[in-house]
Amino acid sequence: MDNTRLMSGGALSTTLAGPAAAPAAVDAAGVYARPPGLSKPARRPALRLRAGALLALVLGCLLPVRAAGQDAGGEEGRPAIGHITLEGNRTFSDGELKALMRTREPRLLQFTGHPRYVRDWLRSDLATLEAFYHRAGFYEVSVSSLREGDIVYDPEQGSVDISIHVDEGKRRYLRALSITPYLGEAERGLRRRLAAQPGQPFDPEAPAMDHFRILRALQEQGHFAGRVEHAITVVPTASHASRDSVDLEYRVDQGPPALLAGQRLEGNTLDDALIQRELTLKVGGPLKLDAILTSKQNLLDSGYFRAVDYRLEPVDSTAGPRREGEEEALRLVWIFRERKMATVETGVGLGSVDGLRLLGGWTHRNLLDLGQRVSLQANFSLKDDRDGRFGFSYERESLDWRFLDIVRLRARLGLTLFREKDYESESGAFSLETRAIRLSAARRVDPVTVMRLRQQFDFLYQRRIVDLPLAEYQPTYNTRSISLILDRDTRDHFFNPSRGGHSWSSYELAGGVQGGDHSFQRLQLNLTRHRRLSGEGIVASRIFLGGVWPYGKSRTEQLAGVPADGVPFQERFYCGGGATVRGYDENSLGPRINPEDSDLTPEVPGQSLPDYILGGRYMLVANLEWRFPLSLFGRSSFGGVLFFDGGGDWESLEDIAIARALPWQAGERNDTRRVFYGLGAGLRYLTPITVIRVDFGLPLQNLTDKGGRWHLSLGHTF
């Protein structure tokens, strides 16, 4: 069973003792990258309340409450802000300029309280606007607002109206850019990366930024002693009274090529041999920036270090002055901050999926000083079962062992053994116990991309739940599969990203020549994007596509206790809940089964639905979120979210139809073949190690009369 499938999941877990757990992004092969998919499949939530009152509660927490005397006195005696008027801005709209300011007008949805007038903030905003105009080529701009009559106080409203005057002046454009001497093939790619571009407004700060880019390009070619100067020539434009042109010349001294004369290690207690095996640089050979960064990434991927830095030192020469073209000898000094090699982790938490959750673990990153990384983990959750009895609902124990690093291939090999016991499976028809062996190889393709290859052997034991009237079932079977995963992560932050994206795709092949009881193929694609708005907030989006197809004997041989299409329960897709489509019960959407049918065929949608979920062979999920900061209880660690989710899972492609895809289209109430939508709001609390998430979602296509749902978990939804 490949745990990269996208399913609802997660639980709120707070560490009570011991050091913080290492991120789940470290697999047995030891490469640090965000893992594709989500954690173990989730089960039905315990918190179910009516929609109207809860939605009012959530929105009541987010919307401000203004006291009767607040406008007059204001926070610390500061008046409220009424209107902000801009005059003289021809090039940029009022909205573009106001979005840059900390001084804000009140808005329809003011999440952080009524804005107040602070004189120092306004001074800072004027400087910000001038800097913005300078970057856009307006070198004579003047922005002012502190003259007499610009700040008008209204005692009746307890607010001030602010006028800001903009004198844009002339605008400069870059007419021509030259680099001397010609840098060869490297110059073509370099020109596209420069901040100064011919035909565009000239930013006076662009040459300073381009100095860094040119020096980096020289270092990529092996020249670390290069120097850059620039000259600007103003060319008045007679045909345009409001604009000038400039010519920009970069004068480059490449300096001598660098030679690696030696390496030195500082700050490490780890055996030098374990570090040196991660270094791909050859002493006596040419030294280039790309080779240094590759070795640095290898050192970080090893898991031994919190931080890795370096510096270059010249090696004294006794041969006199360097001749033209002679190489410069440099020593590379590595500086390390090591992690703790052995850690113990314990924790307890509460979530809407798992109920009460207990966890513990032990990790050693350098067992017996041999560079072997070993990790033991245990996870338990307790909640009410289907009969209302409190007890175990899930438990998992695992052993991860990274046993071999192949530095030349930039690959790490690992072994994982785990036992996973799910007392109420995704369908609700069986309790499942999985014992698995996984061999994995991970290779970093570039600084943001990791490729993984996995061979997995699953031995599954299923037990019929007491109230299931199914006559026969197969108690044990095994699955053997191989998976290829490509993971690309450009996010700027692991837990709370504001820009960049995370994309992964996977292909899994089970059965066939590998043997086992099941033969199927699975293809998955997940794309997420984060974009910071010009004002406050971040827009985040995610789309997930997945499909699984049986082949070979799984299409011709029917196994008892396995759906008629040949794809077992634990290999199917399940939709609905806190990680997919909020506003619905966990894994409640999509095809269902009548447990009285021995072949477990999907139930035809009707006015009554059976309790058991079949799961789909195809799945589509799309999510859109607006994440914005909140200032609650005097803390800035809070955030709010407005979200809109859509998705579903289907037994066959024929079940996917445009007529059932739009949220406003009517249809049979219990038609599980449609696309389901949910919308709502949530609260986030950012901690040093993760994000605590509380969401309330309203279903737009309700299968039951339960109204909205609460969802409580760790981390952002995506």
CA torsion, ordered 79, 83, 86, 91, to nearest 10 deg: 120
Q: What is the pLDDT of residues 231-288, one digit of tens each?
A: 999 988 776 777 899 999 999 999 999 999 999 999 999 999 999 999 989 999 999 9
* Burial state string for 524-537 with b = 16 or more CB within 10 A and e = fewer than 16: bebbbbbeeeeeeb
> For residue 598, what pLDDT is reported?
56
Q: Torsion-angle region of residue 640: left (phi > 0), alpha (psi -120 to 50) or beta?
A: beta
Neighbours of 266 (CB within 10 A): 11
Please tell me the distance from the alpha carbon of residue 352 to that of residue 694, in angstroms, as a whole number.
10
Res 552 pLDDT > 50? yes
Candidates 266, 270, 269; CA nearest to 335 is 266
Neighbours of 322 (CB within 10 A): 13
**How would residue 124 be classed by pLDDT, with cut points 50, 70 and 90?**
very high
Mean pLDDT for the stretch of residues 305-321: 82
> For residue 465, what pLDDT is reported?
54
Average pLDDT over the chain, rounded to an integer: 82
Q: In the chain, pLDDT over 90 holds for what percent of residues? A: 54
514 contacts 479 by C-beta, under 8 angstroms: no
Res 612 pLDDT > 80? no
Candidates 104, 172, 100, 89; CA nearest to 131 is 100
Q: Where are the beta strands (DSSP E) in 206-340?
A: 227-236, 243-253, 258-266, 305-314, 328-338
Please tell me the distance from the alpha carbon of residue 270 to that of residue 7, in angstroms, as a whole number.
40
Pairing assessment for the beta strands 538-550 and 618-632 based on DSSP bridges: antiparallel
Res 226 pLDDT > 90? yes
The tokens describing 101, both together, are 């300011």
**How would residue 113 be classed by pLDDT, with cut points 50, 70 and 90?**
low
String of DSSP letters for 146-211: -STTSEEEETTTTEEEEEEEEE---EEEEEEEEEES--THHHHHHHHH-S--TTSBPPTTHHHHHH
Candidates 155, 172, 86, 176; CA nearest to 125 is 86
Q: What is the pLDDT of residues 161-170, one digit of tens each?
A: 999 999 999 9
Non-local (6+) Cβ contacts of 234 within 8 A are 172, 244, 245, 246
**How would residue 648 be classed by pLDDT, with cut points 50, 70 and 90?**
very high
Candidates 711, 718, 678; CA nearest to 12 is 711
Please tell me the distance from the alpha carbon of residue 559 to that of residue 539, in angstroms, as a whole number.
46
Comparing 12-16, 127-131, 379-383, the range with the smallest average pLDDT is 12-16
pLDDT higher for 65 or 87?
87
Burial grade of 44 (CB within 10 A; 0-12, 13-18, 19 or more): buried
> For residue 410, what pLDDT is reported?
75
Pairing assessment for the beta strands 328-338 and 258-266 based on DSSP bridges: parallel
The tokens describing 549, both together, are 């197809």
> For residue 463, what pLDDT is reported?
73
78 contacts 116 by C-beta, under 8 angstroms: yes
34 contacts 489 by C-beta, under 8 angstroms: yes
**How would residue 392 be classed by pLDDT, with cut points 50, 70 and 90?**
confident
Three-state SS sequence of 533-557 = CCCCCEEEEEEEEEEEEECCHHHHC
Res 42 pLDDT > 50? no
Mean pLDDT for the stretch of residues 653-672: 78
Comparing 104-118, 392-406, 561-575, the range with the smallest average pLDDT is 104-118
Candidates 251, 235, 255, 254; CA nearest to 243 is 235
Helix (H, G, I), strand (E, B) or coil at 613: strand
> Sign (positive/negative) of CA torsion 178, 179, 185, 189?
negative
Backbone angles phi, psi at 438, to 5 degrees: -130, 125
> For residue 129, what pLDDT is reported?
97
Q: Which amino acid is at 34?
A: R
**How would residue 26 be classed by pLDDT, with cut points 50, 70 and 90?**
very low
Domains and CATH numbers, the chain: 13-47+352-475+486-714 (2.40.160.50), 79-167 (3.10.20.310), 171-253 (3.10.20.310), 258-338 (3.10.20.310)
Please tell me the distance from the alpha carbon of residue 707 to that of residue 648, in angstroms, as a whole number.
19
Burial grade of 276 (CB within 10 A; 0-12, 13-18, 19 or more): middle
275 contacts 301 by C-beta, under 8 angstroms: no
Comparing 50-59, 257-266, 645-654, the range with the smallest average pLDDT is 50-59
Burial grade of 480 (CB within 10 A; 0-12, 13-18, 19 or more): buried
Res 32 pLDDT > 80? no
Angle at 577 between CA 572 and CA 578, to 5 degrees: 120
DSSP annotation of 602 reads B
Please tell me the distance from the alpha carbon of residue 543 to that of residue 529, in angstroms, as a whole number.
9
CA 196 to chain centre: 32
**Cis amide linkage into residue 181, ω under 30° from 0:** yes
Non-local (6+) Cβ contacts of 543 within 8 A are 526, 527, 620, 621, 622, 623
Mean pLDDT for the stretch of residues 185-200: 90
Please tell me the distance from the alpha carbon of residue 183 to that of residue 164, in angstroms, as a whole number.
47
Res 64 pLDDT > 50? no
Q: What is the pLDDT of residues 450-497, one digit of tens each?
A: 999 999 999 988 776 545 444 455 678 899 999 999 999 999 998 889
Res 51 pLDDT > 90? no
The tokens describing 606, both together, are 């009707």
Please tell me the distance from the alpha carbon of residue 366 to that of residue 656, in angstroms, as a whole number.
51
Res 118 pLDDT > 50? yes
Q: How far from 649 is each of 25, 251, 299, 699, CA to CA, in Å? A: 27, 61, 42, 16
Res 698 pLDDT > 90? yes
Q: What is the pLDDT of residues 494-528, one digit of tens each?
A: 888 999 999 999 999 999 999 999 999 999 999 99
> For residue 657, what pLDDT is reported?
82
